[in-house]
Chain A
Amino acid sequence: MIHFVFLVAFCGAVGLVLAAILRRGIRRVLRLAAWITGGLVFSAVVLGWILYIFPL
């Protein structure tokens, strides 16, 4: 569980910084930050499941 918390915190920070650089206006910044954060978390979970079938 703590791994997922770290993942969400990391993705949220990255998303907020990128959105604040790319957009103007608090509402638009938050909207893009939510999209970036969600995309990163979703990608990480999907990639984790895909890699799960490959033994290392």
Chain B
Amino acid sequence: MRSNGWPRSSGNTRVDTVTEAPELEPLEDPSSDGETVDAFASSAEATPAEPPGGGMFYCLTATVLAWLIPGAGHAFVGQWRRAIVFGGLISGLFVGGLALDGRIYRIEEDDVLSYAASLGASGVGGFYVVGHALGYGDGDEQAAYHEYGSTFTLVAGLLNLLIILDAFDHALLRHHARRAKTPAAESL
């Protein structure tokens, strides 16, 4: 009888052929150049400390902070380097836009596009409120770089919306890491 490669059993005899499964290597990003250490992570990020709050409250706090002050959400979850980069860039874009006599978009009833523009510009949060409160909202339409400045303030808000989502994502990841470390934290 020709062998077909499978272990043969005789009658009701159970054949337990245990084969050692090869140990799988962890997947690696093909675009990676071998770096696995997050250089943007601070020491607190590498070993997450116990977050002051728990669950959704913790994530929402990071989100609201990221909206109020660009970079504050990442600082709240312990990512100080990202917080500095984001805070500096968004603040620079927004303040630079105001320095170029740009406007801060607001809702105007006769302009449908102003709804979308003001929604995007309001992503920068505290700067948006303070800028309007201080009277910088209208800019100077006669200035040479008025359009540039308006684009800077608008894009600062749009980019901060992405940063807010990233802060929420990191807060959620850190919360899950905390839950995995301490199962009792599931009740939070």
Contacts and interface: CB of A to CB of B under 8 A. Distances in A.
Contacts, number: 52
Given A16-B85, A20-B40, A27 B35 contact: yes
Contacts of B166: 21
Size category, B interface: 20 to 34
A32 B38 CA distance: 15
B155 to A, nearest CB: 7
A45 interface: no
A46 interface: no
Interface in A9-56: 9-10, 13-14, 16-18, 20-21, 24-29
Contact of A14 (B31, B38, B96, B155): B155
B145 to A, nearest CB: 7
Size category, A interface: 10 to 19
Interface string B49-83: 00000000000000000000000000000000010
Contact of A20 (B37, B86, B148, B155): B86
A25 B39 contact: yes
Nearest to B156: A13
Contact of A21 (B41, B148, B162): B162
Interface in B74-133: 82, 85-86, 89-90, 92-93, 96, 100
B152 A17 contact: no
A26 B39 contact: yes
Given A13-B92, A20-B85, 17 more contacts: A6-B145, A6-B148, A9-B96, A10-B93, A10-B151, A10-B152, A13-B89, A14-B155, A16-B85, A17-B86, A17-B89, A24-B40, A24-B41, A25-B37, A25-B39, A25-B40, A26-B40
Interface of B: 31-33, 35, 37-41, 82, 85-86, 89-90, 92-93, 96, 100, 145, 148, 151-152, 155, 159, 162-163, 166
Interface of A: 6, 9-10, 13-14, 16-18, 20-21, 24-29
3 tightest Cβ-Cβ pairs between the two chains A and B: A26-B39, A24-B38, A25-B35
